[in-house]
Structure 1
Amino acid sequence: MSDPVSSIRNLGPAFEQACTRAGIHSAQDLREMGADAAYARLLETGSRPHFIGYYVLVMGLQGRPWNDCKGEEKKALRQRFDAIKAGVSAAPESQLVSDLDAIGVRVSANDLKPE
C-alpha cells in the first residue's frame, strides 16, 4: 500500500482530504505530479488559493520545514503561485452557482424586499 499524503513533511490531515477530493490518493501520486500541477488540481476541485499552503507543499516535497522558505526563494514561489492561480479555470462549485443563478434557484437581496 502507498504512503498517505500526510506522510510527507508539513502536510496534515486537512491537506490530505483536499488531495483526496482532487484525486491525489498517495504521497507517491503527489510526488510524481509535482507541487505546481498538484496545487493547480487542488484549485480546480474547489480548494481556495492560499500562498502559505502552496509553499508548505513545495517545502514538504523537498523534505524541508515549512518555515525554511525565505527571501528570494519565497518571492519566486509567490510568482509561481500567482501564475498557477491565474491559470486555473473556475472551480466546479463556481459553475454550479452560475447554473443555479441561471435557472433562478438563488435570489438576490432585492428579491427579498417587500413591495
Structure 2
Amino acid sequence: MTDPVSSIRNLGPAYEDACARAGIHSAQELRDLGADEAYARLLTAGTKPHFIGYYVLVMGLQGRPWNDCKGDEKKALRERFDLIKANARSSPASQMISELDALGVRVNVQDFEQT
C-alpha cells in the first residue's frame, strides 16, 4: 500500500484533498514530481496560489518544519513561487478551469491533461 500525501510532514487532509484534485494520489508520487511541478499541478487544478502553501510543501518534502524557511532561502522560494504562479495563470487549461469554477462547476484536471 502506498503512503498518503498527508504522511509527509506539514501536509494534512486539506492538502491531500487538493493533491487528489490535481491527480496526485500518494506521497511517493508527490516526491517524484517535486515541489515545483506538484504545485503547478495544484494551481492548474484550481487551488488558489498562496506562498505559504508552496513553501510548506517545499519544507515538507525536505522533512523540515513548515516555518523553517527564512532569509535568502525564503526569497529564492518566493521567486520560484512567482514563476510557477505566472506560468500556471497563462495555461489554457488553468484558464478554462478558473472559468468553470466561477460558474460553480468542479472539473477533474486529469480530463484536461495531454497524453
TM-score, with structure 1 as normaliser: 0.81
The 1-side partners of 2:43 and 2:30 are apart by 15
The 2-side partners of 1:81 and 1:52 are apart by 10
The 1-side partners of 2:72 and 2:43 are apart by 25
Over residues 16-56 of structure 1, what are the superposed CA-to-partner deviations in whole Å (9 max), with x where a residue is unaligned?
00000000000000000000000000000000000000000
Aligned pair count reads 99
Contact 1:43-1:91 within 8 A present in 2 as well: no
Is 1:96 aligned to residue 82 of structure 2? no
The 2-side partners of 1:94 and 1:32 are apart by 27
Of structures 1 and 2, the larger Rg is shown by 1
> Where do 5+ consecutive residues of structure 2 fail to align?
104-115
1:1-115 alignment runs, 5 A limit: 1-88=1-88, 89=91, 90-96=94-100
The 1-side partners of 2:27 and 2:75 are apart by 26
Contact 1:44-1:92 within 8 A present in 2 as well: no
The 2-side partners of 1:30 and 1:5 are apart by 7
Q: Extract structure 1 runs of 4+ deviating beyond 3 A.
A: none
Contact 1:45-1:92 within 8 A present in 2 as well: no
Q: Which has the higher contact order (CA 8 A, sep 6+)?
A: 2
Q: How much is the aligned-residue C-alpha RMSD, in angstroms?
A: 1.5
The 1-side partners of 2:36 and 2:101 are apart by 27
> Where do 5+ consecutive residues of structure 1 fail to align?
101-115
Q: Matched residues, percent identical?
A: 76
Contact 1:3-1:28 within 8 A present in 2 as well: yes
Provide closer, same or farther for how the CA distance between residues 97 and 11 of structure 1 changes in structure 2, counting only shifts above 3 A: closer
Q: Secondary structure at the match of 1:24?
A: coil
